[in-house]
Amino acid sequence: MKKTWVMIGAVALLAVASLMLMACAGSSPSSTPPAASSQTVTLADNGKTITLRVGDSFLLQLGEDYNWTPAVDDQTIVSRANSITVAQGTQGVYDALKAGKTTLTAAGDPPCLQLTPPCKRPSIVFEIQIVVQ
């Protein structure tokens, strides 16, 4: 009985794959939507404006020298993708959800502020303007 279900599953998978290939072969290049793109935003982008298309994403990579607390003013335009785990030194992947303008800010506190006594190294603020078309 188990072999029968495996065979049925394999046949169904082949049928779906064949339908997908036929659908792709039948589509013209002009009807294919442009692929979403991704980019990396770093401290070097501080004060800049980045332009995205709906569906694009970017990795916020501000490093490990500060404890970062990022925030997006309008999360209906751009929001953090919570389902994606990122590497140390990165602060998340953000998705462009709809057309509009918003601001991403990130407060960076030096880790030594948590020590006793705390250090006197200043905190910094990172900010970019985001335009989604």
The answer to whether residue 125 scores a pLDDT higher than 90 is yes
Name, in order, each residue with C-beta under 8 angstroms of 127's C-beta and a sequence gap of 6 or more: 46, 47, 103, 104, 105, 106
Compute CA distances 74 → 43, 71, 107, whole Å: 21, 9, 17
pLDDT tens digits, 11-36? 333 333 343 333 444 444 444 445 56
Q: Does domain 35-132 have CATH number 3.40.50.300?
A: no
Domain positions in the chain: 1-32, 35-132
Q: Which residues share a beta bridge with 95?
A: 57, 79
Mean pLDDT of 83-96: 92
Q: Answer yes or no: are the C-beta atoms of 133 and 54 closer than 8 Å.
A: yes
Q: Which residues share a beta bridge with 96?
A: 78
Mean pLDDT of 72-90: 93
Q: Where are the alpha helices (DSSP H) in the chain?
A: 2-26
Q: Which amino acid does the sequence have at 83?
A: S
